[in-house]
Amino acid sequence: MSQQKVDKYKEQKAKRKELVEKERKQRKRMKALVIAVVLVVAAGVGTGIGFTIRNQYLKIQNSKPDYSSSSLVLQDMAGILAEETSEAAGENGGEESGETKDAGETEAVKETEAADGTEN
């Protein structure tokens, strides 16, 4: 029985280098696997946090009022916008600005008189 133990010990000693190399390779593989898993998890968490921050930012930006000229325009109940656009078109069309304003003013007076039911 003791001879069997000795033989077993000699075999292990002879294969010790191979076993040590296998263990090293296995440790390296495990380290690489652990690093890869940690990187994937960190990237996933970082992406999730990034999208959450981005969505919150967009939500805040969309809730702010828009001060561009088109958003400030209410319904043109008095016909003011039509007057302004006709004045601008008149100035660009080569007419004198004084004539365009007079014509616009008289049209506005007629419209308000017609709305009030009074005439001059």
Checking if the pLDDT of 3 tops 80, the result is yes
Phi-psi region at 79: left, alpha or beta (left = phi > 0; alpha = psi -120 to 50): left
Residues in the chain: 120
Q: What is the pLDDT of residues 14-73, one digit of tens each?
A: 889 899 999 999 999 999 999 999 999 999 999 999 999 999 999 999 888 877 666 555
- Residue 83 near residue 101 (C-beta atoms within 8 A): no
Q: Which of 89, 91, 84, 119 is nearest to 105 (CA)?
A: 84
CA 104 to chain centroid, in Å, comes to 45
Q: What is the pLDDT of residues 90-115, one digit of tens each?
A: 665 544 444 444 555 566 666 666 66
Supply the pTM of this predicted model.
0.43
